[in-house]
Amino acid sequence: MTIINRTITLETELGINIHNITPQVQEILEATSIKNGHVIVFVRHTTTALAINEYEVRLLKDIQVYLEKLAPPTDKYLHNDLHLRDVPPDEPKNAHSHLMAMTLNNTEIIPIVDGELALGTYQSILFFELDGSRQRHILVQINGE
């Protein structure tokens, strides 16, 4: 079995923004000779997330509104009491971003069948920036034969 590790790097904007990383994952897969196996996509940040869903503008806005209702940025959170924590001077008040990330995934596994990602017709691999703006790194590990 072959194992290939690659990283996708994104520059994100402030707040919730959703990126379709399917093309980057497909490009990484196409550069390999793997025909059957799986792709593991993993985010390395506690205020980001992944999901497989439809990448459609109005749905993306619905998702953003839904997440903000789950963890409103203006609510009071203990994590945001920065004066009670040992933090760097530029530490943001981002407890809501951590909570949103916990409701989503930090890992997605996609089967590879005959050299293709086995995604459904309307499925895309979505990366969620829930805090930003930052440079983010997404691990893509391809396993297979």
Contact 100/49 with Cβ under 8 angstroms? yes
- pLDDT of 90 reads 87
Give tens-digit pLDDT for 65-117. Answer: 999 999 999 999 999 999 999 999 888 999 999 999 999 999 999 999 999 99
What's the CA gap between 60 and 30, in Å, rounded?
27
Is 0.75 topped by the overall pTM? Answer: yes
Closest to 136 (Cα-Cα) out of 144, 128, 125: 128
Domain encompassing residue 52: 2-144
Residue 124 belongs to a domain with what CATH number? 2.60.120.460
How far is the CA of 101 from the CAs of 27, 28, 31, in angstroms? 26, 25, 31
Number of domains in the chain: 1
> How far apart are alpha carbons 32 and 35 in whole angstroms?
9
